[in-house]
Structure formats: structure tokens, C-alpha cells
């Protein structure tokens, strides 16, 4: 049912709309975000960016978790996208079926990038992000860094630990 849960600042964009959806063969994209659900312009933009091959839904995190926990979702191939570690943690706490979190393009869209720690070219974190990622990993969820399916998978928790040293 859940083909991928991904943190991506930009939510739906070329990498997601073209590369990931094709690679995974998903027929649904679910954006889980409490702020965007109330912004009609952003919702319209995201729906326009979604490929024709996948229906797009934009929901609050709690509503998204209800959909993902609904047995009717088991017949769908769903890619879930959030744009921050806190929403990912909240979703994972509410949906026990999530086993892996893919992280890429995270933390770069901000007014205060200098206050964040650079983990890779595409991931910047705050201490709160690190705490969220560790809380996710403590639930037995693999936290992986992979920008594109053709790139090697790296353990993000190890990357965080190495950056802290």
C-alpha cells in the first residue's frame, strides 16, 4: 500500500512527479501537511505538478494517517510526501505500517539556513529535526537518504551521527 514516505521541501516537483512515481508505479500521491491544506493556491499548484498517472490528495497529517490506516487503502500504491521531520514523525507515530522514511531535499527552503547543520548537499537540520529523526528510528523505522532511485541508499542516522562528531 505505502510505496514510499518521503520528506521533500518542495513536495511535488520533477523528481517526485516524474522519477519517483514512475520508479514506484504509484497511483496515488498523498501530501500530508497541516498548513498547505488551508492554502488553495498551493494546493492547486501541487495538483498541477502531479503526473496524470497518479491521483493527488492534500490533507492534514491526522487525516492522512486516517486514510493510510483505512483497510481500503491497501489496494492502492501510495507515495506519501511531507516537507519536514516533525510531520514525518507525527505520521509515523500514527501509522504503524510505515517501515522506511526516505529523506531528500530537506531543510533548505528557509530564511535561516545558516542556523542549520549541513548533512549533505540536500539535507540541512536543526536540533529539533535530529530529535525527530532519532525518535522515528527508535520506532524501528529505517531513515534513509536517497535523492533519486538511481542513487545509493545511505543511512541518515549514521550521517547525522558523523556530522555531530
Query: Domain total for the chain?
Result: 1
Residue 79 predicted with pLDDT over 80: yes
Q: Please, where are the H alpha helices in the chain? A: 14, 21-24, 40-49, 61-69, 85-94, 127-138, 156-164
Catalytic positions: 13
- The range of the structural domain enclosing residue 96 comes to 2-164
**Whole-number pLDDT of residue 16:** 86
| Cα dihedral: 96, 106, 79, 67 (round 10) | 50
| Helices and strands per DSSP (H, E), number in the chain | 7, 9
Domain CATH number, residue 155: 3.40.35.10
Of 16-20, 68-72, 86-90, 138-142, the one with minimum mean pLDDT is 16-20
Whole-number Å distance between alpha carbons of 88 and 61: 9
How much is the pTM? Answer: 0.94
Amino acid at each position: 500500500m505505502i510505496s514510499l514516505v518521503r520528506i521533500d521541501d518542495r513536495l511535488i516537483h520533477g523528481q517526485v512527479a516524474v522519477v519517483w512515481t514512475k520508479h514506484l508505479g504509484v497511483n496515488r500521491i498523498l501530501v500530508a501537511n497541516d498548513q498547505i491544506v488551508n492554502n488553495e493556491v498551493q494546493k492547486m499548484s501541487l495538483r498541477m505538478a502531479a503526473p496524470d498517472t497518479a491521483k493527488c490528495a492534500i490533507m492534514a497529517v491526522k487525516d492522512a494517517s486516517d486514510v493510510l490506516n483505512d483497510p481500503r487503502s491497501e489496494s492502492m500504491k501510495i507515495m506519501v510526501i511531507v516537507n519536514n521531520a516533525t510531520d514525518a514523525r507525527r505520521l509515523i507515530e500514527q501509522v504503524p505500517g510505515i517501515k522506511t522514511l526516505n529523506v531528500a531535499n530537506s531543510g533548505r527552503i528557509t530564511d535561516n539556513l545558516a542556523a542549520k547543520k549541513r548533512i549533505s548537499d540536500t539535507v540541512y537540520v536543526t536540533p529539533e529535526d535530529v530529535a525527530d529523526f532519532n525518535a522515528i528510528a527508535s520506532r524501528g523505522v529505517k531513515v534513509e537518504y536517497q535523492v533519486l532511485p538511481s542513487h545509493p541508499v545511505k543511512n541518515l542516522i549514521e550521517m547525522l551521527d558523523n556530522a555531530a562528531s
